[in-house]
A and B are shown apart, each in its own frame.
Chain A
């Protein structure tokens, strides 16, 4: 090769590979790895928004945070919110994916409409719900009243009453995650070879038996992927709650993510906010381990 040193450098995989991937890895290490280490570090320090110095305080932040009822409520809410939402997402997503598996006229339009909540900026879609769930002008209340299901002037405070507020934020979160779960599950369903279905048909398996003994077991790995991604989003995301309730009424929809924000940013106590957020870390570790095992079992690794 006439190109000499440079040419051979650009030719040899053992040099070119690291050279091409290096910048991306460096960026990720600097902007994901480093902040993560900082988050660990901050959570055992006494740093605040304004302070220039920083002292090691051990587990003090964790202990003092755990004592507050606000934190205990948030922890419980986080589980209620995330688990309820994700169970609903998986059940509804499976039903919807099966409905979308068949061909029908106008499928592209249905798919586009069903995907909207996932693609539109979440905060903006959620404002649409804020208007739908408005305490005075809610279209839901109007419809219920028009149908005679509630009395004139009677109305539900969708976001103003504890249990109803939790129901509302769960519903909106399901609304937003459902498209993602559906398209992933649909990809899984599509990948099942038709002859497996045909064989079941010939054997005369009933619909439910077909579903629970053939279809669902075959898409189990992909259900796991969809489920885990959704779970991480449900546990760590605060946008829906921030826009709809800001954690209210009386912290009944406060979750760890929103609490971390209010503590760390609005109250300026970075150390305590970081400690609150750190409680989400064990969950993340579990999810990563499970995902790695899925990947290994399907021989990607």
Chain B
């Protein structure tokens, strides 16, 4: 019995490891491949006989030079950061008070409103981008980064409101009540007492908003036409690919640089993100 048990435990371990290895390779391989490709010479990449897993020629920084100096990549990064920063500001201003109100002030109708707000996060850009494009052009914002600044909060605000609601619910009421006894108004207590201890929640909002902005594709593709005004997620796939000519080395470098750092940052906050989804489905 014990020998069989031990055997089964070993088999179980083997399966466990195999599952983890398979999924890790599946998930991470494209990024590993981007990294490898970034430093390969074009001739190395485009020789079919070469083993693609190794460097057949000396690694080069030429692809990075092209990416940073011969394309608009740096500009696109800047555009993305600019849109990200403004959208973060708008999201914080709108979602943080809204989340607090839903957590503390609005009672039963607030809960229903909260769910309604969360559900708007489900409305896909596919349904909205055509009317939005018309509205954007009527406002004269076509081809301007401000069109993205205007539209992106429509999906960052619902999710972040929901997120902050959960966050504020977890803060003990005593803290605000003590502040109110000390003579602060309710709003004063929110600003002076609740906000300072909610830095972790605010940071989460910042990170999620930034990743959502970096990910967004359809609106930017629809509203923006001038190469200089693109964000990274649209500029790289549309402008670094010209007809049939692919600059794979630079392309992969561009993808890697814009993907991995933000992913690592995000990883620190992912548990809160999950909590946002699972409120309601887990008791």
Contact = CB atoms under 8 A, between A and B. Distances in A.
B contacts with A: majority SS: helix
A187 to B, nearest CB: 5
Interface stretch (A64-72, A79-87, A197-205, A232-240): A232-240
Counting chain A CB atoms within 10 Å of each CB, the highest count among B127, B236, B260 belongs to: B127
Contacts, number: 320
A270 B125 CA distance: 15
Given A16-B187, A38-B134, A127 B153 contact: no
Interface residues of B, number: 103
Nearest to B47: A137
A232 B23 contact: no
A12 B185 CA distance: 9
Contacts of B45: 137
A125 interface: yes
B130 A124 contact: no
A36 B127 contact: yes
A122 B248 contact: no
Counting chain B CB atoms within 10 Å of each CB, the highest count among A11, A32, A136, A242 belongs to: A32
Given A39-B127, A119-B266, A265-B133, A300 B279 contact: yes
B197 interface: no
Interface of B: 16, 19-20, 23-24, 26-31, 33-34, 37, 45-46, 48, 51-53, 93-95, 97-98, 100-102, 104-107, 110-113, 115, 117, 119-120, 122-135, 150-151, 153-154, 157-158, 161, 180, 185-188, 211, 214-215, 217-218, 221-222, 232-234, 236-237, 246, 248, 251-252, 254-255, 258-260, 262-264, 266-267, 270, 273-275, 277-283
Interface of A: 1, 3, 7, 10-13, 16-21, 23-25, 27-28, 31-32, 35-36, 38-39, 41-42, 47, 92, 95-96, 99-100, 102, 104, 110-117, 119-129, 131-132, 136-137, 139, 142, 146, 175, 178-179, 183-184, 186-188, 191, 221-222, 224-226, 229, 232-233, 236-239, 242-243, 256-257, 260-261, 264-265, 270, 273-274, 277-278, 280-281, 284, 287-288, 291-292, 294-295, 298-301
